[in-house]
Amino acid sequence: MLSIEYDGYVKLLNGLITSIDSIEYNDKIKIDEIVRKLQMYIKRCFGFSSTYIIDVIRIDFSRLGQLDAWENGCGSLKNLINVIIEDLELYNTISVTGKKSKDKEALVGNVNSMPQIKNVSKIFISHSSVDAHFGRAIVKLLRGLGLKRNQIVFTSDPQYGIPLNTNIFDYLKKQIKDGVYILYLLSDNYYESVACLNEMGAAWVAQSQCTIMAVPDFEYSNPKFSKGVIDPKQMGVVLDDEFRIVELKNNILVQFGLKVDEMDWMDIYIEYIKTIKALCNVSKFSNNMDRPISQIIYKTGEKPGKGTYNCTKCGQAIFLEDTTDNLPPCPKCRSTQYRVNINIKINSDLYL
């Protein structure tokens, strides 16, 4: 791609972001036009088989009559365009510096915000046993990408764990020393585990390459993370961040020399996202089991079930008619947190 072409496409893509910012709520005709143009630009820049085409299709504008669906859809579209611009910048940098075309082919479609894996043959998932259910979803994703069983170390599953009659600490120490790649699955549970912190410290001393991942309710602004040994400036992944998971996939394929059929990848990807979202719902339900219902906080975007909910800031009441409805931002003050209204009879469907 010539530099002038790169500049032109970046200008066009930034123009789409401006159009999204200025579009009126629920204008399906204009949003369809923006989506069509974006798909055309993707095909011209990356080809008809680019996974970005699928990413556009997956953005949900099916419930345009609902404010939260509109805002989420527009936000996701803008995020995707920014990722594509970063990808084009990487492609253009390689073209200008004159690297071989095969290098360009390896990097196009992969945003260079993920750490590069070099000279490693295994991935070690460092996690708290309490978060093993999330770890299993990651293992399934890695296997779907083509990693073999003996290339994954995941101690919560005997199939990927420590060999029989082997000292666990000696084994992990050897893996780290031999240059295993670390996937840190961060959570509050992780930082409360002495064993996890020991793993993190040992990997840091060995200067092991790593990717940081977080369970969906763990914030990277958490002081536990910022005060730890991992560089807080390193770009991380949240397990349900659909764009970052695609980046992780691309990075692993390139660095481990793997290939995956795009249709197979879509099946793997969709199943992974469904699994993570289902696990999040189970986790929230479990965490709320021993709490009075009046103390449970629900956030915008969640699907708490049928019932009436009051904004925690201004008291505005919202009624959800269906178990599949998402909580919108408060129409009065735009706050994003609610409590269930315990003064109104609660429909039994709330707990289905």
Catalytic residue among 33, 199, 247, 262: 199
DSSP secondary structure letter of residue 341: -
SS (H, E, C) 111-143: CCCCCCCCCCCCEEEECCHHHHHHHHHHHHHHH
Start-to-end Cα distance in the chain: 54
CB 236 within 8 A of CB 212: yes
- Taking CA atoms, 36 is separated from 41, 46, 48, 65, in Å, by 9, 15, 13, 21
- Taking CA atoms, 201 is separated from 126, 188, 207, 213, 230, in Å, by 11, 17, 10, 17, 9
Query: Can you tell me the distance from the alpha carbon of 273 to that of 281, in angstroms, rounded to the nearest whole number?
Result: 13
Q: How big is the chain, counted in residues?
A: 352
Q: Is 199 a catalytic residue?
A: yes
Query: Can you tell me the distance from the alpha carbon of 324 to that of 241, in angstroms, rounded to the nearest whole number?
Result: 21
- Residues forming a β-bridge with 212: 184
Burial of 203 per CB tally in 10 Å (0-12, 13-18, 19+): buried
CB 298 within 8 A of CB 307: no
Rg (CA), the chain: 23
Q: Among residues 277, 268, 349, 272, which one has the least CA distance to residue 308?
A: 349
Which residues are annotated as catalytic? 199
